[in-house]
Amino acid sequence: MAALYREFRLDRRGVLPNLIAFVKANALACFERGEPIRLIVTTDEKKRNVQQNKKLHAMLQEIADNAWWNGRQYPMEFWKEYYRRRFLLKDEYQLDDGGIIHVYWSTADLSVGHFGELIERIQMEAAHDFGIDWNL
């Protein structure tokens, strides 16, 4: 069974009743299974910005130009997908035949904060694994 997950953006009055209805429809069943629900209230975060996106692509190009893995180099597009799979797992679905489908976050959907964390993680890992010098 998939984990219960739903986000509501309260940007107009009509959304609040939907949030309340969702909690009412699911809370009791979760409690009875011994699975408490978690509610997090926060202000809406801004999506990643153009400067962050440019920085990420410049970093990925730097990795493509300088990183060697198992005796070969890979293009920037490879590294973008590699790090997306490494750090941006959104959900995992078990198929009836035993297979698994992984769904990943798109970098376009990340907030400024999460995108900044992604950049930091890539910098640390690329420096450690491939000796990339970010003090350019």
Q: Does residue 97 share a domain with residue 59?
A: yes
Q: Which residue has the higher pLDDT, 11 or 87?
A: 87
The verdict on residue 110 lying in a domain is: yes
The verdict on residue 68 lying in a domain is: yes
Instruction: Look up the domain containing 23 and give its range.
Output: 12-41
Q: Does residue 102 share a domain with residue 67?
A: yes
What does 24-86 look like in DSSP terms, one character per residue? HHHHHHHHHTT--------PPPPBP-HHHHHHHHHHHHHHHHH--BTTB---HHHHHHHHHHH
Tell me the per-residue pLDDT of 9-18, one tens digit each, with 9 for 90 and over: 787 788 888 8
Number of separate domains in the chain: 2
Q: Does residue 123 share a domain with residue 75?
A: yes
Which tokens sit at 108? Answer: 């376009």
Tell me the per-residue pLDDT of 113-131, one tens digit each, with 9 for 90 and over: 899 999 999 999 999 999 9
